[in-house]
Amino acid sequence: MKKTVTRIGILSSGGDSPGMNAAIRAVVRTGIYHGLEVYGIMRGYSGMVEDDIIKMESRSVANIIQRGGTILKTARCKEFFEAEGRRKAYENLKKRDINGLIVLGGDGSFRGAQIFSNEYDIPCIGLPGTIDKDIAGTDFTIGFDTAVNTAVQAIDKIRDTADAHDRLFVIEVMGRDAGYIALHSGIATGAENILIPERKTDMIDILA
């Protein structure tokens, strides 16, 4: 028998990424439009464990669509990855009758949501918020486009200096174990070579 979700909580967890506030605004206003009560959970899973949860209204997310960061704040919570921490989190949701959860974050945040959902039978939806684009099953992630465009703008500016001095510049971008930012920004700026973790790098070929 399917449960009817009437109250949802939304949190942002892990590293922040551009576009998180726009996503929070969309969730809050869409949820209210469909007759749901929406609660904001502050500082990610820490807010669930410590009972830092606030009710959201349409006006709670006014004028945030263009802002960076996340109005719900974000953090990493070691306690949530312990059974006792998750029990506290569940009790804090239960006393407000929150029966659905939306998690805005990356792979680590999603692993926590999966464990929590399996333990307490609370449906969870993951919104992929990471500039790295390293979440399986989605073409783009919230923040990836901004990260690529920021890298492209920086490379375009530094290219003038490289040309003026007849120098070869090596540009390092973010992405951790995923090379999507390097690949997309490298193609967009006409890089001579693009080094990504997914492909073995041979320094002899690079220097040839």
Q: Are residues 152 and 81 in the same domain?
A: no
- pLDDT tens for residues 56-72? 999 999 999 989 899 99
Candidates 51, 97, 132, 166; catalytic one: 132
Q: Are residues 11 and 105 in the same domain?
A: yes
Q: Are residues 114 and 166 in the same domain?
A: no
Residue 176 placed within a domain: yes
pLDDT band at 208 (very low <50, low <70, confident <90, very high): low
Q: Are residues 93 and 149 in the same domain?
A: no
Residue 174: which domain range? 144-207
User: pLDDT at residue 207 above 80?
Assistant: no
Q: Do the bridges between strand 124-128 and strand 37-41 make them parallel or antiparallel, or are there none, so unpaired?
A: unpaired
Q: Are residues 64 and 122 in the same domain?
A: yes
- pLDDT tens for residues 153-201? 999 999 888 888 988 899 999 998 999 999 999 999 999 889 999 988 8
User: pLDDT at residue 1 above 60?
Assistant: no
- pLDDT tens for residues 27-36? 999 999 999 9
Residue 2 placed within a domain: no
pLDDT band at 2 (very low <50, low <70, confident <90, very high): low
Final residue in a domain of this structure, among 104, 128, 152: 128
Residue 175 placed within a domain: yes
Higher per-residue pLDDT: 10 or 66? 10
Name residues whose C-beta falls within 8 Å of residue 54's C-beta, 6 or more positions apart in sequence: 39, 40, 42, 60
Q: Are residues 180 and 79 in the same domain?
A: no
Is 132 catalytic? The answer is yes
Q: Are residues 124 and 148 in the same domain?
A: no
- Alpha-carbon Rg for the chain in angstroms: 20
How far is 157 from 188, CA to CA, in rounded Å?
14
Total structural domains within the chain:
2
| Continuous segment of H or E residues that includes residue 10 | strand 7-12
- pLDDT tens for residues 102-150? 999 998 899 999 999 999 999 999 999 999 998 888 888 999 999 999 9
Final residue in a domain of this structure, among 128, 157, 186: 128
Average pLDDT over residues 9-25: 93
The whole-model pTM stands at: 0.86
CATH for 80: 3.40.50.450
- 76 within 8 A of 111, measured Cβ to Cβ: no
